[in-house]
Amino acid sequence: MPPIVYLDGAYVDRSEALVSVWDHGFLYGDGVFEGIRAYNGRVFKLREHLVRLYNSARSLMITIPVTIDEMEKAVLETCRKNGFVDAYIRLVISRGVGDLGIDPRKCTGHATVVIIADRIALYPPETYEVGLKIVTAATRKNSNDAFSAQVKSLNYLNNILAKLEAIHAGVFEAVMVNRDGYITECTTENIFIVAKGELHTPPVHVGILKGITRDTVMELAEKRGIKVRELPFTAHDVYVAEECFVTGTGAEIIPVVGIDGRTIGSGKPGLMTAQLLADYRALTSQEGTAI
Ligand code: PMP
């Protein structure tokens, strides 16, 4: 059965899930999105993702034509129609159809609303067992006065430039530094380090997306009695960290064992990382909105 896609209020076949070339999401990246995951028949942190989506849209003055409650029902219905119990769900909202000018007022219709539920492309198990090597990107993170990283927008070119650097360096990920020299986040994950037994992650104001996995990991660490601090740090602090990992909805918690040619800690995934991954997986297998 081919995937069924929610498009502007209708459930359509994958082959019919088409958006106009006049859509300002396509022409200008004028839109927002979310990536959500369903585990074992339950959508994890659904409400949190929807609140972030609606806040991203509000920040860009895009009116989503359905309420958050209706959107929640539509996400669950899309999963049901596809028969998925484990899924990666992508919500995309664009400003809608306009003309070739950038003026958002020319998008006189409604915002385009898309919900795709697809099979989750899991990272290979060795990613979690062996860990990743990453680099710091030369491309600077967009500054807060240019564009807020808290808006999960359809314009990911800043991150894509950093991803290209990772690919050319022969590694999987790159971490981006802001113009003050502080570590922000990877191209699609937040970053954590362990220093003197404490867990440190950059604060939102350095220019990061407030990751939902990041929030969850901070809660899980506190439950374990680990001291968690949101603290600006530099590449040097990562070089000398005891452990490092990245977090994201798709990635969950992936250990980082090397950066910029340096070995982090023992060069093997650390104990705190492994404990938090186990806690995170236990949580995702229990919690969530039933499909
Ligand atoms: N930072 C960026 C730039 C992202 O795109 C994402 C989402 N893939 C994250 C962090 C992690 O956010 P979350 O844990 O909410 O998926």
Rg of the Cα atoms in the chain:
19
Q: Which of 249, 252, 253 to mutate to test the pocket of ligand 1 (most atoms within 8 A of CB)?
A: 249
CATH 3.30.470.10, the chain: domain bounds: 4-118
Ligand 1 pocket member 217 (CB < 6 A): no
Q: What is the DSSP letter of 23?
A: B
Is the Cβ atom of 31 under 6 angstroms away from ligand 1? Answer: no
Q: Kindly tell me if the per-residue pLDDT of 58 is higher than 70.
A: yes
Distance CA 71, CA 47 (A): 10
Tell me, in angstroms, the distance from the centre of ligand 1 to residue 87's CA: 17
**Does residue 68 have a pLDDT over 90?**
yes
pTM above 0.95, yes or no: yes
Q: Which regions of the chain carry the CATH code 3.20.10.10?
A: 127-284
pLDDT in tens, 132-185: 999 999 999 999 999 999 999 999 999 999 999 999 999 999 999 999 999 999
Pick the CATH number of 127-284 from 3.30.565.10, 3.20.10.10, 1.10.10.10, 3.30.2320.20: 3.20.10.10
Going by their DSSP bridges, the two strands 4-7 and 132-136 should be labelled as unpaired
Averaged over 67-86, what is the pLDDT?
96
Residue 2 confidence (pLDDT): 64
Q: Which of 190, 191, 204, 252 for mutating ligand 1's site (highest number of atoms within 8 Å of CB)?
A: 190
- Burial classification of residue 153, based on how many CB atoms lie within 10 Å of its CB (0-12 exposed, 13-18 middle, 19 or more buried): buried
Q: Could you read off the pLDDT of 105-121 as tens digits, one per residue?
A: 999 999 999 999 999 88
Residue 228 has pLDDT above 90, yes or no: yes
Top CATH class, 4-118: alpha beta
- Annotated active-site residue in 45, 133, 141, 152: 152
The question of whether 152 is a catalytic residue gets the answer yes
* 3 confidence band (pLDDT: 50, 70, 90): confident
Residue nearest to atom 11 of ligand 1 (CA): 248
Share of the chain above pLDDT 90, in %: 97
